[in-house]
């Protein structure tokens, strides 16, 4: 009887521990502007070895008082595909963000290789969603208006560039005047369906 009681107690403690861990891990669709794409710019850079490159810089904002805890990380979870063939080139993974000028609520992502005629790489297409994860383990996801993933490909980048103008930078990143870029809520609601500010 003692052995049965001890085994039951161990199982109960284990199940309680697992349940407590899972209770703190949650995925929430960010429909209350907890995280959103605030601005985006497209830039062209020239590298003497490879020629011109086309990249997009995404600026993602979090509204921290709408989160259930402190920001642990902000990311972009995506799959990388060949934009022409649709073939998967890099499976699902997290892209890391960088705080913009040390901010705790503004982050930047650098996605590159949207040139369709490059001979040194394939034209990239990213399918994924941006997220903020809190120290409590909750992830708030910025998705399309119907809850799906964003598809960021050369066609979308071209449309963004037509709306914002062409920027020039070096091979390491854009040389944007970020404050002068228009907000997606004003010009590109496809990337900001709730018109967050």
Please tell me the distance from the alpha carbon of residue 139 to that of residue 72, in angstroms, as a whole number: 10
- Mean pLDDT check: name the lowest of 22-31, 37-46, 173-182, 186-195: 173-182
| 100: containing domain | 26-187
Q: Is residue 11 part of a domain?
A: no
pLDDT at 169: 56
In 3D space, the residue among 143, 132, 115, 127 whose CA is nearest the CA of residue 42 turns out to be 115
- Average pLDDT of 103-122? 83
Asked whether residue 66 is assigned to any structural domain, the reply reads yes
Q: What is the pLDDT of residue 21?
A: 35
The pLDDT of residue 22 is 37
- 166 in any annotated domain: yes
Residue 167 lies in a domain: yes
* Model pLDDT for residues 46-81, shown as the tens digit of each residue: 777 767 778 889 999 999 999 999 999 999 999 999
Count up the domains in the chain and report the number. Answer: 1
Residue 62 lies in a domain: yes
Alpha carbon 137 to its chain's center: 17
**pLDDT at position 10:** 36
The torsion of the CA quartet 123, 89, 79, 127, rounded to 10 degrees, works out to 30
Q: Does residue 32 form part of some domain? A: yes
Residue 151 lies in a domain: yes
Give the Cα separation of 128 and 94 in Å (integer).
9
Model confidence, pTM: 0.81
Indicate whether 136 belongs to any domain. yes
CATH number of domain containing 89: 2.60.40
Judged on CB neighbours under 10 Å (0-12, 13-18, 19+), 192 is buried
């Amino acid at each position: 009887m003692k052995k049965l009681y001890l085994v039951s107690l161990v199982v109960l403690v284990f199940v309680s521990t697992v349940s407590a861990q899972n209770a703190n891990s949650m995925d929430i669709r960010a429909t209350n502007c907890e995280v959103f794409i605030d601005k985006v710019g497209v830039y062209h850079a020239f590298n003497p070895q490879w020629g011109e490159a086309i990249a997009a810089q995404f600026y993602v904002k979090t509204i921290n008082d709408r989160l259930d805890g402190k920001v642990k990380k902000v990311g972009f979870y995506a799959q990388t595909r060949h934009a022409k063939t649709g073939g998967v080139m890099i499976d699902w993974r997290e892209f890391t963000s960088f705080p913009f000028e040390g901010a705790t609520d503004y982050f930047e992502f650098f996605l590159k290789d949207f040139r369709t005629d490059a001979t040194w790489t394939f034209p990239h297409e990213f399918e994924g969603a941006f997220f903020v994860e809190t120290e409590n383990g909750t992830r708030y996801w910025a998705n399309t208006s119907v809850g799906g993933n964003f598809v960021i490909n050369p066609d979308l980048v071209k449309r963004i560039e037509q709306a914002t103008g062409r920027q020039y930078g070096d091979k390491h990143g854009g040389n944007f005047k970020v404050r002068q870029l228009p907000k997606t809520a004003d010009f590109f609601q496809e990337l900001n369906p709730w018109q967050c500010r």
